A and B are shown apart, each in its own frame.
Chain A
Amino acid sequence: MPHLVLDPHLVLDKVSIHYDGQAAPAVERVSIDVAKGDFVVLVGRSGCGKTSLLNVAAGLVAPARGTASINGKPITAPGSDRAVVFQNDALFPWLTARENVAFALRLRGVAPAERARRADELLALVKLADAGDKCIWELSGGMRQRVGLARALAAEPEFLLLDEPLGALDALTRERMQTTLLDLWTASDVGVLMVTHGIEEALVLATRIVVLAPGPGRVVQTFEPGFSRRYASGEAIRTIKADPAFAAARGELTDAIFEGEAA
């Protein structure tokens, strides 16, 4: 029975991932459901397959068993309905920042003037209004990630897939980027699936945290922290982080991540 899809959903259903030449599966029977407006964060120790799962959602890796689907349609290849932002920005250095942002529009044959206008809007959205003409190598790491984010948004995706986008940034820049991410997410109705190593980052950003454990990768726990909703309704990020509830949640999440690991 084809069921009616009211809201767009990005669904991984009992997905197992098995890489060629490896005895054990990397991920076994993991199910994740991202609805529009969700901010789902995958955390877990190294080797738990969080990036592999993101790549399945992106259509870059095919699951051995189980299905990945978007709005009920199976995912077989990458598509601009699920734009990816990578850890190393993966920007194109032969293009300016503006041209990078406009890349998806250029692929679709949007007229140059129109795509420059859209790109400038998006650059302003990620607070890089003046950087349009800059070359990529003139930008700092944080600025590059902003350009990468704007480039992904230009594709007007229903879902954003973020593969440790802030992993390579210094602590201060990372904190600033977290609020940028939250602002973008609040302003749009995009659904986000993000992989991160940062425990605090996961708590600040996520509407739902999925904790994975390695050997083979599987879901061990799910949290719904709710701090990002508080940010969305106007509370300052510093106040949220100073809340004792935040510290308690951090302890709980840390325990969940390191549970079962020989100390």
Chain B
Amino acid sequence: MTVTSYTERPGHKVDEADGLSVPWSRSSPKRKGVSARAVSVMTILVVLALWALSARLQLVSPVFLPSPVAVWNKFITVARDGFVDATLLQHAIASLGRVFAALVAAILVGVPVGLAIGISTIGRGIFDPLLEFLRPIPPLAYLPLVVIWFGIGEPSKILVITISMLAPVALSTASGVRGVSQERINAARSLGATQRQVVRHVILPSALPAILTGLRIALGAGWSTLVAAELVAATRGLGFMIQSAAQFLVTDVVVMGILVIAAIAFVLEFTLRRIERVLVPWAGRE
């Protein structure tokens, strides 16, 4: 398989025991114990400290930069009492619901489209230009058109997120399909597989690692489109919460909302990697 370039797997992982993880820095016993993770934790702590310090010294007005403690307190109150008529959890569930509905739609459309592109010339002729047209357009650009066509209800929000997920899912699937080894297909055919069985039993499982990578990229794209989608007449959702807070200049809620979005994105990414490891343990080991 060739499409494992985004994924970081145990087999491919660079040696993290080194401070520097480039090939020309040879591991030396002196640097032992300095792991990349420890450095990352340190970095985060330093950024937090700088943030707290500048808030404490009032280098910037609290309206623009609330202190970490204020943001934390806001997190507690919004989680308990809510903000603009919904608790933090309700906002998060509304947002996650939209993203996952869009993900399901993107899989249902994108995987078959990707298969068509990868397997048939006609499929590629039809879908390639459409996807290449759609892919570079930022969601904010087609959002108004979607609203004109489908109104400001829930479906148009989900649609916008789905569109942003479609290209990564379809293109990853297609490249996964194209990467299937001809020898494997020939082996299956010589064992009596029909074309349909080749797709079902050889091409789909072969492309699965690439498809999962596509889903991971799509989830990232969809999550970042979310805020844009929720700017349009939503009454719930993390994007909506941030947007309302910004209008009232409640900066601590804005900052808190951003951090929550980041945290959820991190958890999603982590979970998907776990799922990959369980579903396609063979990827990168061939």
Partner-B contacts on A (CB < 8 A): 58-60, 77-80, 82-84, 86, 88, 90, 92-94, 103-104, 106-108, 135-137, 148, 151-152, 154-155, 161
Q: Chain B, interface size: which category? A: 20 to 34
Q: Which residues from B are CB-within-8-Å of A107? A: 191-194, 197, 201
8 Å CB interface, B202-260 against A: 202, 205-206, 208
Is A86 a contact of B192 with CB atoms below 8 Å?
no
Is A84 a contact of B186 with CB atoms below 8 Å?
yes
Is A104 a contact of B186 with CB atoms below 8 Å?
no
Is B193 a contact of A94 with CB atoms below 8 Å?
no
Partner-A contacts on B (CB < 8 A): 181, 183-184, 186-194, 197, 201-202, 205-206, 208, 280-282, 285-286
Question: What are 10 of the A-B contact pairs (CB < 8 Å)?
Answer: A58-B190, A86-B183, A92-B184, A92-B201, A93-B285, A103-B201, A104-B191, A107-B194, A154-B191, A161-B190
Known A107-B201, A155-B192: A90·B187 in contact at CB below 8 Å: yes
4 extra A-B contacts, CB within 8 A, seeds A84-B190, A152-B190, A155-B190: A83-B191, A93-B282, A93-B286, A107-B194
Q: Which residues from B are CB-within-8-Å of A135? A: 281-282
Is A92 a contact of B205 with CB atoms below 8 Å?
yes
Is B186 a contact of A58 with CB atoms below 8 Å?
yes
Is A104 a contact of B192 with CB atoms below 8 Å?
yes
Is A137 a contact of B285 with CB atoms below 8 Å?
yes
Is A86 a contact of B191 with CB atoms below 8 Å?
no
Known A58-B190, A107-B191: A90·B285 in contact at CB below 8 Å: no
Is A78 a contact of B189 with CB atoms below 8 Å?
yes
Q: Which residues from A are CB-within-8-Å of B197? A: 107
Complex: A217 Cα to B105 Cα, angstroms: 54
Complex: A79 Cα to B244 Cα, angstroms: 65
CB distance from B50 to the nearest CB of A (A): 46
CB distance from B272 to the nearest CB of A (A): 18
Is B188 a contact of A103 with CB atoms below 8 Å?
yes
Q: Which residues from A are CB-within-8-Å of B189? A: 60, 77-78
A136 — nearest CB in chain B belongs to which residue?
B282
CB distance from A84 to the nearest CB of B (A): 4
Complex: A145 Cα to B204 Cα, angstroms: 24
